[in-house]
Structure 1
Amino acid sequence: MKAYQIGPQTGLDSLTPVERPAPKPGPGEVLLDVLSVCLNHRDMDVLKGRYGPKRDQNRIPVSEGVGRVAALGDGVTGLAVGDRVVGPHFVTWIDGDFSPAAFGHDVGITHDGWLAEQVVMPAAALIRVPDGVSNDQAAPLASSALTAWHAVVEVGKVKAGDLVLTLGTGGVSIFALQIAKMHGARVAITSSSDDKLALARKLGADITINYKVQSDWAAALAAETGGRGADIILETGGQSTLPMSVTAAAPNARLVIIGFLAGFESAGLPNYGSIIGKNLTLRGIAEGSRAMLARLLAAIDANGLQPVIDKRFSFDEAPHAYRYLESGAHVGKVVIDIARP
């Protein structure tokens, strides 16, 4: 079968096409024909050697996708050949509270991922995709969409009328916008591009802020909200943007810390006292469990949420897909089609 592996992890050129023997499912495992996959920022970081320690050069990358069951290993029940399925990339985190043990089996990182014609996955982690949900709706769920769901719904406890603030227009932020609107919330979103903010408004964003024009975007948000701020904030920037997120928070807000796309600060948090003064909750999250993914999938099936697919590439064009993601030109998801039904 055709696949890609991560190579020496010295940059995007490390992505290497290879031919491998077709895998076979063991007991409790399922063989999948991969239909489509989606790229995330960490997929680039892996190739650049920036996502923890360097991995086995033969590792197949990519953490989210949708596949069709091709064969069942011994003891597998509840799935049938021909079913379309998705699964979380922390395959041992089935339900309940997070444990660091989940990092021990991280699809695309510690174990082979989705960027191949066929993959083997633990059956216990997989969820059947309803017939009414398309591949494009299902493929982006395991990482960015699940992170957004975890932040907005599971931690943020979003309710109608809340204001959700999300930073940037990447996969997590666009899914957060859509999920928040699905729950009757208002959404504020930031970007350095007026064109991207225009698209966000078409998706339902209520407040859009160009942080290159308004560098003090917390003040801009305060002006739009009568000084109140946001109830739920998805902090995708990291230490560099966290102080302004604290300033932008309403009393009793939930700040969900997801990433560090804006880099790191060496100094401490200058407005640390605001965390206490506003009674804020700061919570770091790592994607989500299979149970959360099942709830997200059910919500998409019930509400017809359509992910924003910015651009799609063929399997042979996978290196170009990585470079497009790196360019930052995208809004939403970058898809690689492995096989179409």
Structure 2
Amino acid sequence: MALGNLTMSTKPMLKPGKGEVLVEIWTVSLNYRDTEVCMGTYTHHKSTGATSSIAQCSDMCGVVVEIGEGTTICAWNVGDRVVPNAIKHISVTYRVFHAIGLVKPPDYLRTGGVSICGLQIAHTVGATTIVTFSSDSKLERAKLPDTVMQITQYNGADIVFEADIEAGDARTLHKSFDCGASGGLINAIGYLSGKEDDPGNRVNANVLAIKKDATLKGILGGPKDRFEEALNFWMASVLALGPARGKYFQRSDGKELSL
């Protein structure tokens, strides 16, 4: 398995059954997990019944184009924009979904950019935000403070949002605990810089948590109702800040965007 093995293929058009809808997928976002799947290194959370030939990606937005025959109760109409809750293998042009597993997206849906998304939500609810990024282009959007502890007068951050830029992984987790407040919450989402500590720096997570009396929470997904709650909040409040657009690719650019 390798990034160079990404290929385009054609399969028969799907037909939705009772309680299902056919969705034309318009936009898909790329996450670090997708690169791992290509490289064969996404082994800590295997899919049941996975094969060597799978479609990539897990974030998308599309439009309902057909409702399954025999479906008597359905929240969707043909033409509705929808997003799925925690679905994999969606880098395709069409896919059948269970109707109850879809939710309504904001009028403007921005996929990807977990760090900027977290920053916008925290800012909207009135939190004091302290943001660090390893990308210079993103530093222009979120000024890098000298240190978290200095800004918080050495109390530490109540909530640490470990996103997709060298945070939430083995190599930086101890730094997040050091920056957190006593009794704080560490939300771990990514592990871009690695899954194992460097030699000589292998303090177990239980020791880190006890030292700060903190809670470490891993986030992979969530229930549909919390997803809907987040999207409704986004539509009502966060969109006023404006979208944070990244880079756009065509479907045929799959290999380039994976690199």
| Interval containing the TM-score (normalised by the shorter chain) | 0.7 to 0.9
Query: Measured at CA, do residues 124 and 259 of structure 1 come closer, stay the same or move farther in structure 2, by a change above 3 Å?
Result: same
Q: Secondary structure at the match of 1:46?
A: helix
Query: Measured at CA, do residues 272 and 32 of structure 1 come closer, stay the same or move farther in structure 2, by a change above 3 Å?
Result: closer
Distance (Å, rounded) in 2 between the aligned partners of 1:118 and 1:281: 40
Q: Secondary structure at the match of 1:86?
A: strand
Query: Measured at CA, do residues 24 and 271 of structure 1 come closer, stay the same or move farther in structure 2, by a change above 3 Å?
Result: closer
Query: Measured at CA, do residues 273 and 44 of structure 1 come closer, stay the same or move farther in structure 2, by a change above 3 Å?
Result: closer
- Say whether residues 1:189 and 2:155 are aligned partners: no
Distance (Å, rounded) in 1 between the aligned partners of 2:92 and 2:213: 47
The structural deviation recorded for 1:279 is 2.4
- Say whether residues 1:85 and 2:82 are aligned partners: yes
Aligned counterpart for 1:228 among listed residues 155, 158, 161: 155
Distance (Å, rounded) in 1 between the aligned partners of 2:257 and 2:216: 34
The aligned runs of 1:1-341 (5 Å cut-off) are 10-52=1-43, 53=46, 55-73=50-68, 74-75=70-71, 76-89=73-86, 107-108=87-88, 113-129=89-105, 133-134=107-108, 137=109, 140=111, 171-201=113-143, 208-209=144-145, 220-235=147-162, 236-263=167-194, 264-265=196-197, 268-269=202-203, 275-305=209-239, 306-323=242-259
Q: Secondary structure at the match of 1:191?
A: coil
The structural deviation recorded for 1:273 is 5.2
Contact 2:174 2:208 in 1 (8 A): no
Q: Which moved more, 1:281-290 or 1:300-309?
A: 300-309
Distance (Å, rounded) in 1 between the aligned partners of 2:204 and 2:67: 55
Contact 1:61 1:115 in 2 (8 A): yes
Output one character per residue of 1:230-271: Cα deviation in whole Å (capped at 9) or x when no partner. 111123331211111111111221011222222111654279
Any gaps of 5 or more consecutive residues in structure 2?
none
Any gaps of 5 or more consecutive residues in structure 1?
1-9, 90-106, 145-170, 202-207, 210-216, 324-341
Q: In the alignment, residue 190 of structure 2 is paired with which amino acid? A: G
Q: In the alignment, residue 259 of structure 1 is paired with which amino acid? A: G
The structural deviation recorded for 1:274 is 5.7
Distance (Å, rounded) in 2 between the aligned partners of 1:268 and 1:279: 19
Query: Measured at CA, do residues 273 and 115 of structure 1 come closer, stay the same or move farther in structure 2, by a change above 3 Å?
Result: closer
Q: Secondary structure at the match of 1:33?
A: strand
Query: Measured at CA, do residues 189 and 26 of structure 1 come closer, stay the same or move farther in structure 2, by a change above 3 Å?
Result: same
Distance (Å, rounded) in 2 between the aligned partners of 1:43 and 1:276: 33
The structural deviation recorded for 1:297 is 1.1
Q: Secondary structure at the match of 1:42?
A: helix
Q: Normalised by the size of structure 2, how large is the TM-score?
A: 0.85
Distance (Å, rounded) in 1 between the aligned partners of 2:182 and 2:253: 47
Cα RMSD of the aligned pairs, angstroms, is 2.2
Q: Normalised by the size of structure 1, how large is the TM-score?
A: 0.66
* Greater share of strand: 1
Which 4+ stretches in 1 moved above 4 angstroms?
A: 270-274
Q: In the alignment, residue 251 of structure 1 is paired with which amino acid? A: S
Distance (Å, rounded) in 2 between the aligned partners of 1:237 and 1:321: 23
Query: Measured at CA, do residues 304 and 188 of structure 1 come closer, stay the same or move farther in structure 2, by a change above 3 Å?
Result: closer
Distance (Å, rounded) in 2 between the aligned partners of 1:238 and 1:271: 11
Aligned length: 244
Distance (Å, rounded) in 2 between the aligned partners of 1:241 and 1:311: 27
Distance (Å, rounded) in 1 between the aligned partners of 2:235 and 2:205: 42
Q: Secondary structure at the match of 1:187?
A: coil
